[in-house]
């Protein structure tokens, strides 16, 4: 009998426990299940958005693709402009939106519209995109600012971030160009030497140009002077 009563007491205790805690268990299960399906829905939405961005960006590249020596037609350029705006609006914090803005900035530079180029590059830097894209935009912005005569701003733009090894030589070269424009030949020489030292195996074709820039800002040595005089005589 005592065993029977014990089972009844256990059952009653279980009922009381369920009454006190059951709703929380049900709620937790509902939240867990809802979270699982919610996460899957979120992933599906992100995947769909990425695919849409890829399709628009592919159309942009196809619109701009022309045979060598040919120019993009006015209709294609207008369509490309629409696609750039769509990517910037709908895919702002993605590589698609950022690269679209970089493309437009390049157009603007080719057309001499440095103000638009600056605006597009600053837009890229305001987005939450990959660091590699940010570094490229920063380098190009520094070049644009330098071309606009804003040398101090150009230098500050370069110094706002630390470039990856793959782009360090280009940063150093841009810094050298700016310092040379400012009349700081010593600083420019150091920057060009840094650029030479930073070149990787795929960038060796730039050695000659960088060496010419370095030689241009370095004072002639005594040996160079005597050699020139001997050649003249």
Distance CA 47, CA 115 (A): 35
Contact at 8 Å (CB) between 173 and 185?
no
Q: Count CB atoms within 10 A of the CB of residue 158.
A: 21
**Which range among 3-7, 118-122, 155-159 shows the weakest confidence by mean pLDDT?**
3-7
Beta-strand ranges (E) seen in 23-153 are none
By C-alpha distance, which of 98, 102, 80 is closest to 89?
A: 98
Percent of the chain's residues with pLDDT above 90 = 52
Distance CA 100, CA 54 (A): 11
The confidence score (pLDDT) of residue 233 equals 45
Distance CA 103, CA 89 (A): 15
Residue 119 belongs to some domain of the structure: yes
User: Which residue range forms the structural domain that includes residue 93?
Assistant: 48-64+72-129
Residue 85 belongs to some domain of the structure: yes
The confidence score (pLDDT) of residue 195 equals 96
Residue 92 belongs to some domain of the structure: yes
Q: What is the pLDDT of residues 15-73, one digit of tens each?
A: 666 666 666 666 666 566 666 656 556 566 667 767 788 889 898 888 888 655 667 88
Distance CA 56, CA 137 (A): 21
CA angle 125, 168, 88 (to 5 degrees): 20
Residue 118 belongs to some domain of the structure: yes
When pLDDT is cut at 50, 70 and 90, the band that residue 86 belongs to is: very high
Residue 194 belongs to some domain of the structure: no
Number of domains forming the structure of the chain: 1
SS3 191: helix
Q: What is the pLDDT of residues 189-216, one digit of tens each?
A: 999 999 999 998 888 889 999 999 999 9
Joined together, the tokens standing for residue 81 give: 């402009």
Q: Cα(first)–Cα(last) distance of the chain, in Å?
A: 129
Residue 107 belongs to some domain of the structure: yes
User: The whole model's pTM is what?
Assistant: 0.74
């Amino acid at each position: 009998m005592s065993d029977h009563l014990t089972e009844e007491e256990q059952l009653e205790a279980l009922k009381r426990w369920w009454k006190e805690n059951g709703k929380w268990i049900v709620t937790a299960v509902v939240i867990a299940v809802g979270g699982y399906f919610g996460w899957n829905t979120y992933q599906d939405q992100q995947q769909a958005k990425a695919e849409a961005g890829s399709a628009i960006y592919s159309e942009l590249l196809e619109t701009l693709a022309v045979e060598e020596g040919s120019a993009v037609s006015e209709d294609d350029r207008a369509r490309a402009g629409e696609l750039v705006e769509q990517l910037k609006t709908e895919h702002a914090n993605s590589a698609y939106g950022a690269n679209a803005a970089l493309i437009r900035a390049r157009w603007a530079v080719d057309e001499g519209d440095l103000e638009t180029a600056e605006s597009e590059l600053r837009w890229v830097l305001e987005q939450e995109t990959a660091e590699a894209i940010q570094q490229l935009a920063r380098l190009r912005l520094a070049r644009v600012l330098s071309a606009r005569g804003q040398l101090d701003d150009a230098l500050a733009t370069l110094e706002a971030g630390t470039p990856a090894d793959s782009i360090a030589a280009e940063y150093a070269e841009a810094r050298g160009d700016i310092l040379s424009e400012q009349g700081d030949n010593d600083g420019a020489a150091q920057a060009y030497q840094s650029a030479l030292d930073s070149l990787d195996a795929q960038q060796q074709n730039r050695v000659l140009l960088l060496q010419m820039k370095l030689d241009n800002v370095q004072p002639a040595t005594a040996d160079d002077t005597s050699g020139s005089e001997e050649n003249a005589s």
